[in-house]
Every structure is written in structure tokens, then in C-alpha cells.
Amino acid sequence: MTADTTPAELEQALADAAGAAAALGSAEPAVRAGWIRAVADALDAAADELVPIAMRETSLPEPRLRGEVGRSTGQLRMFADALVEGSLLEVIIDTADAQAKPVPRPDLRRVLVPLGPVLVFAASNFPFAFSVCGGDTASALAAGCPVIVKAHPGHPELSVRTAAVMIEALRAAGAPDGSLGLILGFDVGVIALKDPRITAAGFTGSVPAGKALHEISVTRPEPIPFYGELGSLNPVFVTQAAIDARGNDIATGYVGSFTLGVGQFCTKPGLLFLPAGHGLQDKLTEAAGGVASATMLNDRIKDTFDSGLDRLGKVDGVRVWSAGGATLLQTTVSELLARQDEILEECFGPVSIVVEYDGLDELRSAIAAFDGNLTATLHAEESDNELATELLPLLTARAGRVLWNGWPTGVAVSWAQHHGGPFPSTVGSIHTSVGVTAARRFQRPVAYQDAPDPVLPAVLRDANPLGITRRINGVISQDEVER
């Protein structure tokens, strides 16, 4: 049992973070990138120690957790690379133009600067990739913000050890003390969120908790941005042509996706829309029946899952096709539309609902029934391209990531990734929590007007001494500025 952070320890963590902000934020990009790479290296080196703790605390299997460490350290290095290349700073330079109309234009140089200390509420279901060393922490450090992580109570020992490894790596690499801190305890997190030294917050978790923390953030005397990833149903829509071409693969792929990590993914496909007469019931129940029971992340999640299953099983028009390690339910679009408040509610765990649609109008109605989601998926063939072109805007309106012929579980970490969708899947849908642009959540622009070259930060100087990528008079390059 790990004790809650005391008020004195919290005050120290906040003071340390505030104290680190200037030095961390003003470090040159390559220097800060070096500190981040040191963290990645230390985590890789500590995997043999950390993974067993994670296995014990989360009941997740070793290969998954080792993959998650690799994903997390790869993510840290991606941010370091983007920092050195310079795009993470979004430098924009417009040189003076004495002839500009209606008035002469001054020299303006814009760069993104860090907001200040960031509070990260860690998730339970990815003890590395969305926890202490996860994307919120990585993107905030890359932005130049000190981070205080509020540990998830599901893996306290792992949180403490992960933070210790990272803090030691930062210290050894020369980063300012206070660049990273860890706090434990629900009330402690709320107190920290209200502290004026905290300038932004990231959160991954349930809808009620996310809404409550969001309200605290935006109604503080000084409101701060709150980025919350709350919950998602991740519907999958399958055309008849896709069934004809690869129905069995779709059945097994679906079951594999909704039971991955014991169904404890925010991108778990919660509903699979199949054309009536799909003929896949046997294949689906066979695949679901073959899924072994597995321990969930913790007792609270297990209790919530059990009551959710119980609730869903009692909804009129919802039938049980398979129960056990994976629960497969079935309904129809007309029944779903009649009881959408009951059926369209996330149930976190290894359960999903097959929804049968009767014709394309029902498919369109089903898509329209959804609020915001992290993902929406279409399984279709080339012969469906006209239909797919029509459905694309409908799916885009309801999701942050739209997939073809794949499964939403698994979120690649890359430049182009977007993880976040319209409300209620995300609070702050204009930002992502995965991918290089996630750093932007913790940066604000500053423009320097007519500042002398020697006084400017190196990234803004004429000679581009750091060789970063910049936009100069509208054109992106690594060039020097000609005045």
C-alpha cells in the first residue's frame, strides 16, 4: 500500500515544478531533447524491473507490457526528434515590410513557449503508455513544461518506481530539479488542480471523473485548459460486400479487438454493425467462446463491468449470443434506436454488441445515432467506394479517427496520429493526446516585434544557428532570414 501524498509533500512538488519551469522552458531544443532521450533510455534499461511490478499490479500479460514500454520510449524519442527538427516550436517569422498596406509591417517572430507546470491524471489501463511515462508527460516535457503526475491508484508501486527512474535520469542528464514529480491520492489531485501554479491538465479516465475535473479547471479563478479523454463506443460498420469477401476474418478480427487487453481499451469496438442475414453468428460465438476469462485491471473496474453487463443484459431487445471470457450481445438497429440511451453507453471490459441493420437507410440512421467517438471504422470493398464516399463525412462528424478494414484498438504513435474525438469522447476535441501535435496542448504562442537579433532566443535569430525548420514570410525552410 502506497501512502497518499501529504500536504507538505504536495506543496514541495508544486514549488519544485514552479521552480523548474523557467530553466526547463528556456533550454535549447536539442538540450531538452537530450533530457527526454535520457528518460527513454533509462526506462528501456529498467524494463526488467518495471514490467514485473506492472504485471502484479494490473494483471496484464508480459508481452503486452513490454510492448507498451517500447511504445512509450519510442514516443519520448519521437518528441525529442520533433524538438530538434524544430516543428514542435512552430516558428513563424515575417520580416518587416515598409511598403505593406494599409500600414507598414514590423518584423514579427512567433514561437510556441511552454505554459508552465502541467498536472497529468494517469490512466489505469495503460500503466506505461497513458500513465507516468505516457503521452501526456512526454508531450508536456517536450513542450518544456514541468510535469506532476497524479498516480492512478491501480498501479501505485509501478508509478512510484517509474517516476523514480525518470527523475533520476533527468537529474543525471542535467535537467532542472522539479521537471517531474509524482503525487498520490484522489483529494491530493483535486487540490493540485486548483493550485495557481498548475497551468494545464491532462486526464484519461471515466466520463464522470473527467467532467468533474474539467469543471474545476475551467471555473478556477484563473481558468486553465483541461484535456480529457473520457470514453468512446468506437462503432464498426460492415458492408455486405465486405461480408462476402472476408466475413470470417471480420468475425475473428472483431472478437480479437474487443477482447484485447480484457476489453480494457478506450478504443475497444463496442458495437459491430452487420447487414441482416450476414450468416456470421456461429463464427462470432465460436470466436467469443474461445476467449479465456482473464483478470481485469482492478476490483473497481471488475465491479463496474459486472454491473454494466447486468444492465445491458436486461435491456429489451438485447440478446446474449455468448458469455464467458467474452460476452457477445446482439440487437438490431430498430431496437437500438428505440433504446439508444440504454444501449449506447460504454461498458469497459470484454463485451461488445452485434447490431444488425436492414438496408442502407438503417445503416445511415445508425451512424447518425452516435455522439462523439474516438474512432469509427468501416469495413468495405472497392465496389463500395461510392457508398464509402457518402458515409465518410458522416463518420468524420462523429469521430477523431476513421479506419478502413482494420480495428480501432492499437493507436500508432506518429506525426499524423490523432487520438481524440468530438464530445463526450474528448473534452477539447481540437487537440490530440497522441502524436507530435499533442505538445501543442501545453504551449502558447508569443510574438516578438522588432526585437534585436542578439536578444532573441536562438530559434528565432536570423542565422538560424540551430538549423531548425521555420516558416519565413509564409514559406517553410531551414534558411537564414534575410532582412
Show contacts with its own copies in window 172-231 (CB under 8 A).
Answer: 214-215, 218-219, 222-223, 225
Given a contact cutoff of 8 angstroms between Cβ atoms, the answer to whether 270 and 305 are in contact is no
Distance CA 453, CA 268 (A): 52
- Residue ranges in 459-478 that form contacts with its own copies under rule CB under 8 A: 469, 471, 473-474, 476
Which residues, 259 to 298, sit near its own copies by CB under 8 A? none
User: Given the complex with its own copies, which of 245 and 323 has the nearer CB atom?
Assistant: 245
As to burial, measured by CB atoms within 10 angstroms (0-12 exposed, 13-18 middle, 19+ buried), residue 479 is exposed
- Of positions 418, 433, 459, 481, contacts its own copies by CB under 8 A: 418
Residue of 133, 145, 266, 347 marked catalytic: 266
Catalytic residue, chosen from 229, 346, 356, 362, is 229
Rounded Cα distance, 202 and 248, in Å? 40
Distance, CA of 127 to CA of 115 (rounded, Å): 26
| 405 scored as a contact of its own copies (CB under 8 A) | yes
When the beta carbons of 205 and 420 are compared against its own copies, the nearer one is 420
If the CB atoms of residues 3 and 99 are measured against its own copies, the closer one turns out to be 99
| Residue of 94, 229, 346, 362 interacting with its own copies (CB under 8 A) | 94
* For its own copies, the closer CB: 446 or 463: 446
User: Which 423-442 residues touch its own copies, going by CB under 8 A?
Assistant: 423-424, 427-430, 432, 435, 437, 440-441
Question: Under 8 Å CB-to-CB from 459, ≥6 apart: which residues?
Answer: 28, 29, 86, 89, 91, 111, 466, 468, 470
Least separation, in Å, of the C-beta of 321 and its own copies?
28
Rounded Cα distance between 150 and 171, Å, is 20
For 436, the 3-state DSSP assignment is: helix
* Number of Cβ atoms within 10 Å of the Cβ of 173: 17
Surface-to-core class of residue 128, CB atoms within 10 Å of its CB (0-12 exposed, 13-18 middle, 19+ buried): buried
Least distance to its own copies from the beta carbon of 393, Å? 6
Whole-angstrom distance, CA of residue 193 vs CA of residue 187: 10
Nearest distance in Å: CB 224, its own copies: 8
Options 1, 3, 99, 102; binder of its own copies; rule CB under 8 A: 102
Q: Which residues contact 393 (CB under 8 A, 6 or more apart)?
A: none
Size of the site for its own copies (CB under 8 A): 84
- Output the CA torsion 395→399→404→405 (10° steps): -110
Contact between residue 424 and residue 418 where contact means Cβ atoms under 8 Å apart? no
CB of 359 to its own copies, least distance (A): 21
The reply on whether position 341 binds its own copies by CB under 8 A is no
Are the C-beta atoms of 73 and 44 separated by less than 8 Å? yes
Q: Does 6 bind its own copies (CB under 8 A)?
A: no
Q: What is the dihedral of CA 439, 440, 443, 448, to 10 degrees?
A: 120
Segment 49-88, which members bind its own copies (CB under 8 A)? 66-67, 70-71, 74, 81, 85, 87
Active site residue 356: no
- Determine which residue in the list 113, 160, 207, 344 makes contact with its own copies, applying CB under 8 A: 113
CA count, 13 A, side-chain hemisphere, 152: 29
Of the candidate residues 445, 465, 467, 480, the single one contacting its own copies (CB under 8 A): 445
Q: Which residue in 292, 310, 389, 482 binds its own copies (CB under 8 A)?
A: 389
Nearest residue (CB) to its own copies, 193 versus 329: 193
Does the annotation mark 145 as catalytic? no
Annotated catalytic sites, by residue?
Answer: 229, 266
